[in-house]
Amino acid sequence: MPKYYVNKNAQANGDHEVHKEGCNWLPFTENRIYLGYHNDCHSAVREARNYYNQVNGCLHCSEACYTG
pLDDT at 23: 98
Three-state DSSP state, 48: helix
What tens digit of pLDDT does each residue of 55-67 get?
A: 999 999 999 999 9
What are the residue ranges of helices labelled H in the chain? 41-48
CA-atom Rg of the chain in angstroms = 10
H or E element, residue 42 = helix 41-48
What tens digit of pLDDT does each residue of 10-48 get?
A: 999 999 999 999 999 999 999 999 999 999 999 999 999
Judge contact between 58 and 68, C-beta under 8 A. Answer: no
Claim: this prediction has a pTM higher than 0.85: yes
Strands 16-20 and 55-57 turn out to be parallel
Distance CA 17, CA 36 (A): 15
Query: Where are the domains positioned within the chain?
Result: 3-65
pLDDT at 68: 82
